[in-house]
Amino acid sequence: MVLPQILLNGVLLGGLYGLMALGMALVWGVLNIVNLSHGALIMLGGYAVYFLFTVTGLDPFAALPVAMAAMFAFGYLLQRRLLNLVVRSALLNTLLITFGLDVVLTYLAQLAFTADFRTINPTYSGANFAVAGLTVPVVRLAAFGIAIALAATLWFVLARSPLGRAIRATSQNLTAARLYGVDPGSLYAVTFGIGAALAGAAGGLYGMVSNLTPYIGAELTAKSFVIAIIGGLSNPFNVILGGVFVGVAESLAALYLGPTFTNVVGFGLLVGILVVRPSPSIRAA
Amino acid sequence: MMNKKTSIAAAIAVALLASVPLFGSDVVVQFGIDALSMATLAQAWNLMGGFTGYPSFGNSVFYGLGAYGTAIAMTKFGMPFGVGLAAGVAAATSCAALVGLPILRLRGPYFAIATLGVNGAMAEIVSNLRIAGADVGLVLPLTRNDASFYELSLALLVFCTGCVAWAATSRFGMGLVAIREDEAAASTMGVNATLYKVAAFVLAAAFTAVAGGIHAYWSTFIDPASAFDSTLNVRMVIMCVFGGPGTVFGPVVGSFILSAIYEVLAAQISTAAALLFGVVIVVAVIFMPKGLADLVQQAPGVGWRYFVRNIRENGI
Amino acid sequence: MSATAHPVPVVQALGLTKRFQGLVSVDGVSFSIAANEILGLIGPNGAGKTTLVNMIGGTIAPSAGELLFEGKPITDAPVHRRAHAGIGRTFQVMKPFPGMTALENVTVGALFGRDGGLKDMGKAREAARGWLEFTGLGRRIDTRADELGGPDRKRLEFAKALALRPKLLLLDEVMAGLNPVEVDEVIELIKAVRGRGVALLVIEHVVKAIRRLSDRVMVLHHGQKIAEGDPASVLSDPRVVEAYLGKKRT
């Protein structure tokens, strides 16, 4: 039963990966910004849930919406006050400024929270149950379910709500959107805020299944990027699927090749996908 | 075009820099070696990221290959330093050509992220190679002569900058810039885009590898973590973009300034240094998105309105 | 065929076909152009005109068919090699190098271009200056391409294509958006280019211009060639009138 168990672990972890990438794909698709500080936003969300849990004693799952609201506000202000100043600049510049933000957030976090490892450990964190001979960890299953639920919510907002219509219009044609009375500045801020809130949720869940340090951002950014490319930028469910694909591929690579060559496998996979897959619905750089 | 005034100014600057070991303290010379080497990395990055418009986040792999090529040739085969450097350059340029052919077909962020993976993958391969000392590393013959390493680093930077200056005014450089401006149109005009991109990548790899080889010999010890240091990528990109990508002297000046700032800050607290480095990037992108070179050219005419104009052009 | 001096046509297409995911955009089109000849290409929107030009220019690979340039097959040649052979083109959506001056833009064409271009920077600049004068941009050589207005950009696009010294020039709607005076200027330009021995394929919506300019006219409709011949008879062909002229464009 090793292989099915590995596959199950990969799928559950992959759902969380997909949630990590969801916010990045949204911001990339609408604002044309590849946000290199996305991983740092995930990290901040993780710390938010951690402190809500340890200081106020709030259940970490109940703390998720609070952390998401806080991250939305933070993302909104970040875009409104800072990133809107450069949003139409060359791609290299937006890459660079979000990279700078990543550095700032990482080291602010280090000053504020120290470099210690932290884990969000509610009483039920080790709980699991067995189905058909497979062990299902409760927290990971819940994380997977929340990822699906948030993807569905995002899909609904984008496809059915007036806000979603405005977002889609703006991502396709800035000038036309302006003519229809959309204020791109605030719309961009809202979109980035939603992206940050999704990152916050992903961070809280990540803190329950893994360790938080101020430095996890860079790796999570790279992972989110790969998943966003695999899943494309237009459909939230495809992003989750992309996450599941990466989660399963990682688990299988660790099983069959051992942990020493995961980076080589990862890189081969990344380049293979990039070269084979024709650019999705992304504006040329 | 490089005019006479610029050439004379550059010559004086080189002469001044070359005389630093005569009166500078050990600390200054050691700082100089690092700063010169960083400037070379930024300048080599400039060929791809600045002129050709392909921002690589994986040039550190060439640095690592240069370091390892030199170290293996010297320690395992008893070769002199020069041969070691050549071995490092050969390893790095073959890697650039092999990796470049598939990933240079990718544009913009796709290319940038694909290069991110090269460094990690190569570090892993090297740390599994017995001849490279696996994950323990290699110890090179000890030669503690900072002054000659300094002059060597300076010579490399001058040669690299000379090549970029030549490229800026040649048919080759014109082809690279055309690719940056519009690759499809460039091909239509007869530019062999694939050949030019790979050539620029290989050239950048060669300079980066020499810098890596020099550094390996100077520091007398390398291991996968220090040779394939991915933060190097970040530093070379920032220094080049801060100074002015696609210009001849911008990356050099930019990296000298940032190296100095970093050195002063790192002497205090390293976290604060890194933090301020991040702030510098954010502020620089907002107020001078085209780098120092453009600022120096444009700002004297228009004053503080230069910054307002940048924000108006790029903001919303 | 009007070619008398050159028995081999400059370009010859044999059953060129392009399918995009099941949709046939260009369907088995054959034609040839002789040196010194202007072939006008017309057809309603979506008829496959630009796709055809892209297949000749090499930015789109045909699904079937063959393409000969001066009798040699170039069906699979990469874009830059076609430029070296002597195919120049303009794009419907113009593609100047935005950050370069007009002179630098055209210099790229002269430096590369046919037979690999002029290898010498000074000579290339001189040639580029000449082409800018020729297209009427002589006063704006130091203006950045992204600061040029619409008509001047068209001139620039033209000068860039000419600078690579093409034997075949593909012009995709260079007159769109120009006023009648500017259209007249462009027609004179095109005639002057032909006077230098260049073969031209001209896509145009301005039918009056096509009538004045073309030696022959070819009409595409739903990807198929429905008529070809001298302008007067083709433009009065009932099938052409129905397919193209009957449907008034807005």
Chain C interface residues facing chain B, Cβ-Cβ under 8 Å? 57, 59, 78-80, 83-84, 88-89, 91, 95-100, 104, 107-109, 111-114, 116-117, 119, 121, 124, 160, 163-164
pLDDT at C138: 86
Check: CB of residue B215 under 8 Å from CB of residue B67.
yes
Check: CB of residue A22 under 8 Å from CB of residue A155.
no
**Any idea which architecture C1-76+203-250 has in CATH?**
3-Layer(aba) Sandwich (3.40)
Distance of CA B297 to the CA centre of its chain: 23
Angle, nearest 10°, between helix axes C102-111 and C121-134?
Answer: 120
Check whether A135 has a pLDDT greater than 60: yes
Give A282's pLDDT tier (boundaries 50, 70, 90).
very low
How close is the nearest chain A Cα to the Cα of B130, in Å? 15
How far apart are alpha carbons C157 and C162 in whole angstroms? 9
Mean pLDDT of B109-115: 76
Check: CB of residue A210 under 8 Å from CB of residue A247.
no
DSSP-assigned letters across all residues of chain B: ---HHHHHHHHHHHHHHHTHHHHS-HHHHHHHHHHHHHHHHHHHHIIIIIII----S-THHHHHHHHHHHHHHHHHH---HHHHHHHHHHHHHHHHHHHHHHHTTS-HHHHHHHHHHHHHHHHHHHTT-TTTTTTT-EEPPP---HHHHHHHHHHHHHHHHHHHHHHHTSHHHHHHHHHHH-HHHHHHTT--HHHHHHHHHHHHHHHHHHHHHHHHHHH-EE-HHHHT-THHHHHHHHHHHHH-TTSSSHHHHHHHHHHHHHHHHHHH-HHHHHHHHHHHHHHHHHH-TTHHHHHHHHHHHHTTHHHHHHHHHH--
Residue C202 region by backbone torsions, left for phi larger than 0, else alpha for psi between -120 and 50, else beta: beta
Q: Domains of chain B: which residue ranges? A: 4-230
Most confidently modeled range among A42-46, A120-124, A275-279: A42-46
Check: CB of residue B43 under 8 Å from CB of residue B220.
no
How far apart are alpha carbons B65 and B95 in whole angstroms? 9
Yes or no, beta carbons of C59 and B181 under 8 Å apart: no
Mean pLDDT of C4-11: 72
Any idea which of B272-281, C107-116, C218-227 has the lowest mean pLDDT?
Answer: B272-281
Check whether C245 has a pLDDT greater than 80: no
Give B193's pLDDT tier (boundaries 50, 70, 90).
very high
DSSP label at A78?
A: I
User: What phi and psi, each to the nearest 5 degrees, are found at residue B247?
Assistant: -110, 165
Any idea which of A159-163, A217-221, A240-244, A255-259 has the lowest mean pLDDT?
Answer: A255-259
Q: Give residue for tokens 């920032």.
A: B238
- Give the side-chain half-sphere CA count within 13 A for C3: 19
Check: CB of residue C105 under 8 Å from CB of residue B177.
no
Residue C66, Cβ density class (10 Å: 0-12 exposed, 13-18 middle, ≥19 buried) = middle
Q: Residue C13: helix, strand or coil by DSSP?
A: strand
Among the listed residues A76, A41, A7, A30, the one whose alpha carbon sits nearest the alpha carbon of residue A202? A41
Q: Which one of B48, B56, B282 would you mutate to disrupt binding with A, by most A Cβ within 10 Å of its Cβ?
A: B282
How far apart are alpha carbons C38 and C221 in whole angstroms? 20
Check whether B297 has a pLDDT greater than 90: no
Write the pLDDT tens digit of every residue in B58-105.
899 999 999 999 999 988 898 898 999 999 999 999 999 998 888 888
Among the listed residues C105, C104, C108, C130, the one whose alpha carbon sits nearest the alpha carbon of residue C118? C108
Mean pLDDT of C11-34: 89
A141 touches chain B (CB under 8 A): no
Write the pLDDT tens digit of every residue in C132-163.
999 888 888 898 988 888 788 888 998 999 99
Q: Which residues pair with C11 in a beta bridge?
A: C33, C69
Cβ-based contacts of C97 with chain B (< 8 Å): 177-178, 181-182, 185-186
Q: Which residues pair with C144 in a beta bridge?
A: C101
pLDDT at A277: 61
How far apart are alpha carbons B62 and B85 in whole angstroms? 12
Task: Kindly tell me the sign of the dihedral angle through the C-alpha atoms of B231, A85, A226, A157.
Answer: positive
Cβ-based contacts of B178 with chain C (< 8 Å): 97, 100, 108
Any idea which of A10-24, B2-16, B61-75 has the lowest mean pLDDT?
Answer: B2-16
Task: Kindly tell me the sign of the dihedral angle through the C-alpha atoms of B36, B40, B41, B45.
Answer: positive
Q: How many CB atoms lie within 10 A of CB A174?
A: 17
Yes or no, beta carbons of B191 and C78 under 8 Å apart: no
Cβ-based contacts of A191 with chain B (< 8 Å): none
Write the pLDDT tens digit of every residue in A249-274.
888 888 887 766 666 776 677 777 77
How far apart are alpha carbons A96 and B233 in whole angstroms? 12
pLDDT at C208: 83
Residue B90, Cβ density class (10 Å: 0-12 exposed, 13-18 middle, ≥19 buried) = middle
pLDDT at A257: 76
Compare CB distances from A275 to B102, B123, B238 and report the shortest one's residue. B102
